[in-house]
Amino acid sequence: MYEQHGLPSHVFRLGGIYGPGRSVLDTLQREMSELSMSQQRRGRQRYTARCHVHDICAVLTASILKPRPGGVYNVVDDDSAPRTEVMSYARSLLAGQGQGQGSRSSVAGEEEPPVLSAREGQSSERIGINGTVDTHSQSAGRGRGSGPEPLEEKRVRNRLVKSELGVKLRYPTYREGVAAIHRRDYWPLSQEDLRMLS
């Protein structure tokens, strides 16, 4: 759009947005039947890129202060962790086990693929965990009734957010973000702010 029309557009490719009232802790406290189809689908993914809402706002603020029309930024944290690991960590927090037990080694038998560049600053091509570039939806050509929709597994880097915009993530991994929500640390929001937003 920027090159074609000369508009000072920027692209922010967001991972899964989480924060107070919208996190794995809330998911675990609800019955599966209460989860939306989108939430159930995300529950089947092996890896999920995510970012705390506070850090998303920090990236947008930094871009406003230092615009680069045509820029494309991956707004994710530093750890596209397996969902099973994130769920395990959240369960241990809810069970009162200190800071949780999330670790890569807790996911038995799963080999961790390398983090792949998501062509940051270029196109919006999808790159699978096996390293192949997929410019089409993986569900293309599937008919109705042929089982669950295939999952897109994406692991991306946030290099430009740090090197170009100078953002230091307050919640660099799910551990810091989920632990803060668990201890009711909603900075810079207050409980009253959250009530108004809900």
**CB half-sphere exposure, 107, CA atoms < 13 A:** 17
Residue with structure tokens 């998303």? 56
At 2 the pLDDT is 66
Q: What value, to the nearest 5°, has the Cα angle with vertex 93 and ends 88 and 195?
A: 115
Cis? peptide before 113, omega within 30° of 0:
no
Say whether pLDDT at 189 is over 90.
no
Range 142-177 burial, b when 16+ CB lie within 10 A, else e:
eeeeeeeeeeebbbbbbebbeebbebebebebbbbb
More confident residue, 113 or 167: 167
- Output the pLDDT for position 48: 81
pLDDT tens, position by position, 28-78: 887 655 666 766 666 666 778 899 999 999 999 999 999 999 999 999 999
Return the structure tokens found at 81.
């962790």
Question: For residue 2, what are the β-bridge partners?
Answer: none
CB 53, CB 15: distance < 8 Å: no
16-30, 103-117, 184-198: which is most confident: 16-30
pTM: 0.69
Query: Which pLDDT score, from 0 to 100, does residue 135 have?
Result: 31
